[in-house]
Structure 1
Amino acid sequence: MSNTPAAKPGILDGVRVLDFTAMMSGPYCTRLMADLGAEVIKVEPPEGDYIRLRAPRREGRSTYFAQLNAGKKSLALDLKKPEAIALIREMVSKCDVVVENYRPGVMKRLGLDYTSLSALNPKLVYCSISGFGQEGDWAGRSAYAPVLHAASGYDMANLDYQEGDVERPLKNGIFVADVLGGSLAFGAVQSALFRAARTGEGDHVDLSLMDAMLGMLVYECQEAQFPAERRRPLYRPTKARDGFLLIAPVSQNNFEALARGTGHPEWITDPRFAVSQDREHHWGELMQLLDDWAGPQSAAECEAAMNAAGVPCSRYFTVREAMQLPPLQERQAFQTIDDGSGPFQVPNPAFRFARTAAHARNSVPALGGDGPALLGSLLGLSDERVAALRESRTLHVHG
């Protein structure tokens, strides 16, 4: 199947974004905007976004960085220099959105906060992403995703769901807070852009990653206020001969289909399992019976039997395996891009539009590589002026 997207306009064609974000949450948000056609200008310090140094790397280029920043342009400025701040302020009148994830207070000290910039462009949508919000006792705290997983209760809730003698919160290398927060920031920016288009008035989005994490813990927030009489039953991995699968009979119909699909229709009338409340009381016994059924078979055979019966089920796949699964291939869920060190795949947005494009763009910016052209086209700076900015180390160009 071809990986070349059909030529369609982007919903955000013509929208220009100044992107003062680094690491993951902010870049995730602005990558989605670039996927929809926005011109995203990533304003980086002279040394660049730290993620540029993170593995996996090939020939000095990070594919981790590339996935988060595909389709953007890079402008490397030393914001400690007043002339760099003046350039940014001049650019703001030609932009629609600013996104930043500095620690609260940094942009204000630079004179680049919402109040300062909205005075130059009243339609500006300005999004600030932080760990705990822009104000309050915790606003100044450093807040990387693992810290937020700990602070929000997420890690302790996950620990409480484990079985056996697990005494310490589990390690987690998947940065849920960043991806969740970046996704919510993306949605909030689109809402503010819609309002700006209707009213001519921009807005300031204050996105707290802590708030995002608590918003995700739907059952857990309610159970914290109204403790359940007993632990709710959880689906657990069923062990087959060569691996594991997850079987999730979420409804009465699912359970009855499960009983028939495993060749045990007698479970339907078994007083331990006949209705949902009884199954909850005998959950461990039901899970053990599933292990007994699956044990002699391969995980693929078990999955096929459950799918044939109409029971929600999947084998456990690695990410490498999942990337090759038919639904992802059929939806063209991945885009092939090339950062100069060869082609590789990055995920497209999870959503599709019938009339417009939503996919990763095949370009990865070299640090500061777009600076001279941007300053010339947006601000009309001459080659001599650009050369002077480079000479003064205000503007940096690499690659």
Structure 2
Amino acid sequence: MAEPTANPAAPTAVKPGVLDGVRVLDFTAMMSGPYCTRLMADLGAEVIKVEPPEGDHIRLRPPRRQGRSTYFAQLNAGKKSLALDLKKPEAVALVRELVGQCDVLVENYRPGVMQRLGLDYATLAALNPRLVYCSISGFGQEGSWSGRSAYAPVLHAASGYDMANLDYQEGDVERPLKNGIFVADVLGGSLAFGAIQSALFRAARTGEGDHIDLALMDAMLGLLVYECQEAQFPAERRRPLYRPTKAKDGFLLIAPVSQNNFEALARGTGHPEWITDARFATSQEREHHWGALMQLLDDWAADRSAAQCEAEMNAADVPCSRYFTVREAMKLPPLVERQAFQTIDDGAGAFQVPNPAFRFARTAAHARGSVSELGADGPALLGSLLGLGEERIAALRESRALHVRG
């Protein structure tokens, strides 16, 4: 792994990336794995996305323009594409050669697939003892459920997440809610990213790699912090939940978490008498009379716009926000000021993708602009990393072990 050499103090210098010099073989598709490796690319790693001849299925998913998916681009910006048919022995042999030139391998196949290909951790670690190998799966690499197919909605159902959310609806709906936001994938990808950095740190100190077994099911249970404890020690009464306050033209969420927040809320709404009202004087009493407090907030907001309510609550230093659409949120001042989005171009036009949520003072963490076509980087990679000549590459293409679009 190369040491960054740029001068961090130079105001005009291009910042190096924390992972400059780290090379990653990316055998992931869909969302959880690509989310993980996109973060690594954002930090400067050279990520080689190994795709089947037909490509990652997400390449076909909308939104699309001129046949190119921005959904795919957001998850795979900054990566190189190498298209191999792993059913061909020549392709598997190429991967084994490449492993010696790489620091990390990430895969999210169903458990057992990489072993059948002869690309499991034990086999590859014998070729490169420093290799950090991360396997992402629904239920882990071993155990009675390891072979189950597990997309994010399945994990939401299996983990208790959906039923916990249904319970919070307090009988307003009769079945678990639909959800198109893949929490398990983003959470699991983020945790895999963190685990890989820890293993790289250890490899740098000891020269020894490791195998990371990340289960999305485990990630979902880790998300349910209160719920795991309440499952073991049921609460005497349901904990109060913040609900949308209805203004005349929309909704906002007001969250008086602490006693100070509540007293600021009472003064900010023009009702300081709430502070001494026996129903609301303490947090315990407010919990008992939560519905009454929420109704009073609705009454206060009924003749005000949501923007006016938010302004008054902010002026009183009460935690709150209007409800925004994603389109609206992308334009909000804190996101614009933090440069939370990067403009990239995938060949069909410019668009924005989120940058990592974290920032470094001395190094760069942002989406890289390139979005490779399927297999486009294969010949150059095999030439530069393995020293393959034009004849050998042509033979690989002829055998259909290597695919290059165009």
1:217 and 2:233 correspond: no
1:63 and 2:49 correspond: no
Residue aligned with 1:118, SS: helix
The percentage of counterpart residues that share the same residue type is: 88
1:85 and 2:92 correspond: yes
Give the drift of 1:398.
Answer: 1.1
1:156 and 2:156 correspond: no
**Cα-to-partner distance string for 1:78-129 (whole Å, 9 max, x where unaligned):** 0000000000000101000000000000000000000000000000000000
Give the structure 2 partner of residue 277 of structure 1.
284
Partners of 1:230 and 1:302 lie apart in 2 by 31
Give the drift of 1:6.
Answer: 6.9
1:9 and 2:16 correspond: yes
Q: TM-score, normalized by length of structure 2?
A: 0.97
1:359 and 2:366 correspond: yes
Give the structure 1 partner of residue 352 of structure 2.
345
Residue aligned with 1:353, SS: coil
**CA RMSD across the alignment:** 0.8
Match of 1:373 among 380, 399, 405: 380
Give the structure 1 partner of residue 61 of structure 2.
54
1:326 and 2:333 correspond: yes
Residue aligned with 1:301, SS: helix
Residue aligned with 1:205, SS: strand
Partners of 1:180 and 1:222 lie apart in 2 by 20
1:147 and 2:154 correspond: yes
Partners of 1:375 and 1:90 lie apart in 2 by 10
Partners of 2:80 and 2:261 lie apart in 1 by 50
Residue aligned with 2:74, SS: helix
Give the drift of 1:165.
Answer: 3.5
Partners of 1:318 and 1:120 lie apart in 2 by 50
Residue aligned with 1:213, SS: helix
Give the structure 2 partner of residue 204 of structure 1.
211
1:268 and 2:265 correspond: no
**Cα-to-partner distance string for 1:284-332 (whole Å, 9 max, x where unaligned):** 0000000000010000000000000000000000000000000000000
Match of 2:252 among 245, 255, 263: 245
Residue aligned with 1:311, SS: coil
Give the structure 2 partner of residue 391 of structure 1.
398
Partners of 1:205 and 1:75 lie apart in 2 by 24
Give the structure 2 partner of residue 289 of structure 1.
296
Q: What amino acid maps onto 1:48 in structure 2?
A: G
1:130 and 2:142 correspond: no
Q: What amino acid maps onto 2:224 in structure 1?
A: L
Partners of 1:33 and 1:168 lie apart in 2 by 39
Q: What amino acid maps onto 1:312 in structure 2?
A: P
Partners of 1:308 and 1:398 lie apart in 2 by 57
Q: What amino acid maps onto 1:108 in structure 2?
A: Q
Matched ranges for 1:170-185 at <5 A: 170-185=177-192
Partners of 2:158 and 2:373 lie apart in 1 by 36
Give the drift of 1:267.
Answer: 0.1
Partners of 1:254 and 1:169 lie apart in 2 by 33
Partners of 2:373 and 2:331 lie apart in 1 by 30
Q: TM-score, normalized by length of structure 1?
A: 0.98
Partners of 1:6 and 1:171 lie apart in 2 by 48
Q: What amino acid maps onto 1:228 in structure 2?
A: A
Residue aligned with 2:236, SS: coil
Give the structure 1 partner of residue 234 of structure 2.
227
Q: What amino acid maps onto 1:82 in structure 2?
A: P
Give the structure 1 partner of residue 30 of structure 2.
23
Partners of 1:375 and 1:63 lie apart in 2 by 27
Give the drift of 1:163.
Answer: 3.4
Partners of 1:6 and 1:138 lie apart in 2 by 51
- State the 4+ residue runs in structure 1 displaced beyond 4 angstroms: none
1:118 and 2:114 correspond: no
**Cα-to-partner distance string for 1:186-239 (whole Å, 9 max, x where unaligned):** 000000000000000000000000000000000000000000000000000000
Partners of 1:207 and 1:165 lie apart in 2 by 35
Unaligned runs of 5+ in 1: none
Match of 1:45 among 45, 52, 57: 52
Partners of 2:110 and 2:282 lie apart in 1 by 52
Give the structure 1 partner of residue 306 of structure 2.
299
Unaligned runs of 5+ in 2: 1-11
Residue aligned with 2:211, SS: strand
Partners of 2:58 and 2:258 lie apart in 1 by 44
Q: What amino acid maps onto 1:379 in structure 2?
A: L
Give the drift of 1:7.
Answer: 1.6
Partners of 2:329 and 2:14 lie apart in 1 by 28
Give the drift of 1:164.
Answer: 4.1
Residue aligned with 1:17, SS: strand
Q: What amino acid maps onto 2:282 in structure 1?
A: V
Residue aligned with 1:169, SS: coil
Q: What amino acid maps onto 1:18 in structure 2?
A: L
Q: What amino acid maps onto 2:354 in structure 1?
A: P
Residue aligned with 1:207, SS: strand
Residue aligned with 1:18, SS: strand
Partners of 1:165 and 1:273 lie apart in 2 by 25
Partners of 1:237 and 1:202 lie apart in 2 by 49
